């Protein structure tokens, strides 16, 4: 690595660690714009804010790329025990839930492992499926909320009742369908309310529940926000550094996703200010809209930029990257890149743990499906025990540390710089056949098979079941 290259990084890091621009931006996003939920005023203000900042930082072509989608507006939800006793319980509906009135007994499917659904195959039909948010133990993969919902629906449940695994965090939210109204109502309750239901059932026998949702799914428009830094020696090749900016409507979404969104923005500021003219290939910075109801911005980006996908060297997803823990890379099965990242870590004099795995639940996935080399920032040594306060009302700015924002930015910006200069770049886009083979062999993607089964049953807004 040349002497001037190291000096350039030293100037970037000196700038990063002696200003608090990255935290100032997070405060604007969270305290001024709120959740930035799709369809809210804050969402539009956030998109405009990113474009304005890109322009202020000197990036080329800061732009909003609009796309239409099916949104969701929360209405009041209610949950009541109606027999053999009566009791009103607090709840919220889950994003993309339709407006429904359902009265039925509930079935406790515990952590929602596939085995739990098999065990209740005979008594789930027509009942309310109660499922905990906890990752089931003893599996070689995690089971996402949407898979738990889909298994409930495929099992003939009348509604979905999601219970938080954590005490003191209230209900956990999260969408139950992508870009359309779900066909079955979903509501969410706290651990404490779930425990109360279990106790009441033990004392009074089978409980009859009545739940009502009043949500709406209007047609809306959102925006991906993008801006570029031109490359010099490889102007036709690109890196993509991205993160979504929409948070869930019940919180600030400070950790998920805004801590990563501001790291994308800060990387753009530092690279534009200190590395313009020193890049090999170009870098495109993208803040995606509407990740929380099905990666819609990223899916739309990939669809709108098909002809450019061959020229993307790498896409790094910073979703929620500015939280605690080590800032490594979770690479989506590109072992050819291990030695590159190891060399970077050594030259950068920091720890960059590298893991090789796949995951379908953030904005890198639509790129992954197209064969583009992708990774997400994260700790490959971390064990997934659940979301913590993410997706609850307590994902607020006070949980995010400036030191973590700086560390995430530092790793991302330095890796972008080095990736743009690396010659030859060791990987290129996978064929569709190679992607298909990978999809079939990855245990972590099993949930996608359930999703496809669900999509196949769903046509024109109605379930094609025998009922």
Q: Kindly list the residues in this chain that would bind Zn ion in the complex (CB under 5 A).
A: 256-257, 319
Q: Can the peptide bond before residue 257 be classed as cis, meaning omega within 30 degrees of 0?
A: yes
> How far apart are CB 222 and Zn ion at their closest, in Å?
15
Between 129 and 290, CB nearer to Zn ion: 290
Closer by beta carbon to Zn ion, 62 or else 323: 323
Q: DSSP secondary-structure letter at 30?
A: I
Nearest CB to Zn ion, comparing residues 42 and 257: 257
Closest to Zn ion by CB, 228 vs 319, is 319
Distance from CA of residue 57 to its chain's centroid?
Answer: 26
Q: Token pair 């995606």 is at which residue?
A: 288
Strand partners, 312: 238
Degrees to nearest 5, angle at CA 182 with 178 and 184 = 150
If the CB atoms of residues 116 and 319 are measured against Zn ion, the closer one turns out to be 319
Q: Residue 296 CB, nearest distance to Zn ion (Å)?
A: 13
* Segments of 250-400 assigned E as strands: 281-288, 312-317, 328-331, 354-356, 374-378
Cα-atom radius of gyration of the chain, to the nearest Å? 23
Q: How many CB atoms are located within 10 Å of the residue 370 CB?
A: 20
Q: Dig out the tokens for 60 from the structure.
A: 């080329």
User: What is the pairing mode between strands 208-212 and 101-108?
Assistant: antiparallel
Helix count (H) and strand count (E) of the chain?
A: 13, 18
Shortest CB 220 distance to Zn ion, Å? 19
CA angle, residues 343, 347, 350, in degrees to nearest 5: 95
Task: Work out how close the CB of 253 gets to Zn ion at its nearest, in angstroms, rounded to a whole number.
Answer: 8
- The CA distance from 251 to 173, in Å, is 10
Tokens of 372: 């583009």
Nearest residue to Zn ion on Cβ basis: 257
Q: Which is nearer to Zn ion, 36 or 418 (CB)?
A: 36
Min separation Cβ 162 and Zn ion, Å: 18
Nearer to Zn ion, 238 or 365 (CB): 365
CB of 171 to Zn ion, least distance (A): 18
Least gap, CB of 434 to Zn ion (angstroms): 27
């Amino acid at each position: 690595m040349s002497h001037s290259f190291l000096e350039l990084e030293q100037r970037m890091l000196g700038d990063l660690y002696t200003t608090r621009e990255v935290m100032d931006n997070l405060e604007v996003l969270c305290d001024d714009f709120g959740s930035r939920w799709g369809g809210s005023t804050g969402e539009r203000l956030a998109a405009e804010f990113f474009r304005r900042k890109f322009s202020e930082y000197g990036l080329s072509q800061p732009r909003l790329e609009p796309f239409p989608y099916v949104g969701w507006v929360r209405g009041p939800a209610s949950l009541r025990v109606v027999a053999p006793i009566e009791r009103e319980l607090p709840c919220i509906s889950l994003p993309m839930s339709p407006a429904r009135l359902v009265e039925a007994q509930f079935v406790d499917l515990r952590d929602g492992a596939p085995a739990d659904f098999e065990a209740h195959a005979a008594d789930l039909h027509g009942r309310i499926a109660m499922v905990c948010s906890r990752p089931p133990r003893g599996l070689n993969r995690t089971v996402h909320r949407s898979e738990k919902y889909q298994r409930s629906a495929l099992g003939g449940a009348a509604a979905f009742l999601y219970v938080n695994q954590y005490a003191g965090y209230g209900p956990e939210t999260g969408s139950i369908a992508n870009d359309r109204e779900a066909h079955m109502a979903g509501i969410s309750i706290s651990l404490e309310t779930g425990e109360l239901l279990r106790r009441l059932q033990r004392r009074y026998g089978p409980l009859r529940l009545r739940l009502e949702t009043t949500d709406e799914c209007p047609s809306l428009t959102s925006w991906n926000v993008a801006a570029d830094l031109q490359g010099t020696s490889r102007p036709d090749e690109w890196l993509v550094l991205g993160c979504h900016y929409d948070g869930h409507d019940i919180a600030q979404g400070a950790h998920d996703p805004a801590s990563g969104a501001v790291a994308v923005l800060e990387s753009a500021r530092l690279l534009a200010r200190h590395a313009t003219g020193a890049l090999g290939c170009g870098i495109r910075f993208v803040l995606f809209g509407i990740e929380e109801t099905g990666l819609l911005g990223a899916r739309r980006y990939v669809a709108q930029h098909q002809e450019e996908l061959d020229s993307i060297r790498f896409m790094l997803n910073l979703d929620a990257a500015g939280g605690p823990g080590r800032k490594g890379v979770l690479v989506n099965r590109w072992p050819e890149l291990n030695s590159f990242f190891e060399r970077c870590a050594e030259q950068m004099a920091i720890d960059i743990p590298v893991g090789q795995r796949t995951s379908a639940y953030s904005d890198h996935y639509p790129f992954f499906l197209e064969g583009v080399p992708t990774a997400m920032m994260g700790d490959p040594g971390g064990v997934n025990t659940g979301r913590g306060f993410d997706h609850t009302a307590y994902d607020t700015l006070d949980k995010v540390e400036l030191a973590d924002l700086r560390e995430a930015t530092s790793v991302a910006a330095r890796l972008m710089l080095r990736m743009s200069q690396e010659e030859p770049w060791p990987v290129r886009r996978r064929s569709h056949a190679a992607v298909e083979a990978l999809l079939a062999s990855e245990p972590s993607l099993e949930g996608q098979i359930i999703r496809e089964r669900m999509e196949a049953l769903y046509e024109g807004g109605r379930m094609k079941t025998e009922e």
